[in-house]
Amino acid sequence: MKIKVQSLDQTKKIAALFASSLDKDGLFVTLTGDIGAGKTQFVRYVLEYLNINKKVTSPSFVILNEYKSPLFPIYHFDLYRLEKKGLDSIILELREYSKTGVLTFIEWAEFAHGEIPKNALRINVQYDNNNLDIRYFNFSSLDEANYKFIEKFQKRIKDEHLSNMLCFE
Ligand SMILES: Nc1ncnc2c1ncn2[C@@H]1O[C@H](COP(=O)(O)OP(=O)(O)O)[C@@H](O)[C@H]1O
Ligand SMILES: [Mg+2]
């Protein structure tokens, strides 16, 4: 499912609908896309909706940020500066945090190549070269449960009369 957002505020709305579709099972999410596309911004808005008030940074050197929520523990990996050595040391954590009951975001998942568990819900973010306020968020998954989550999320977008953001191609 691909969404065209035309402003930062619309990104915030979409992130809130995404967060409101979550239940206590959590979700294992990978984020890919160009630098500056809006991956950290999306995570920040999801956490804001979940009332996590500890500041979320876009960590250059910190690989993992951890947050507490009454619903589930939340982990935000940023693999941008990860080296081969570092990848070996976090493989177990990646597996552990892909289990149910945890909300995990893996930003720059492309740097972990084959080590990302296959059940991920994948978000790819791209910007429009002609208008930098416009961003495309593409949600996909090979996992059936995650696919159901995407359907639930899509229904909320429709219920909020935001269908004009959905792209069909
Ligand atoms: N519609 C939009 N959605 C998300 N970010 C946007 C949008 N329009 C402008 N931006 C800006 O783009 C930047 C995205 O940065 P960031 O989320 O850190 O990127 P990434 O983590 O993908 O490298 C932010 O400065 C944000 O304010
Ligand atoms: Mg980032």
- Is the distance from CB of 27 to CB of 148 less than 8 angstroms? no
Q: At what angle do helices 39-49 and 8-20 cross, to 10 degrees?
A: 50
- Report if pTM > 0.75: yes
- Find all residues with CB under 8 Å of 160, minimum gap 6, and list them: 13, 17
Is the pLDDT at 5 greater than 80? The verdict is yes
Cβ < 6 A, ligand 1 pocket: 5, 7-8, 11, 33, 35-41, 58, 125, 132-133, 135
* Ligand 1 atom at shortest distance from the alpha carbon of 33: 22
Encode pLDDT of 107-133 as tens digits: 999 888 788 888 899 999 999 999 999
Domains of the chain: 2-162 (3.40.50.300)
What per-residue confidence (pLDDT) applies to 59?
52
d(CA 48, CA 114): 31
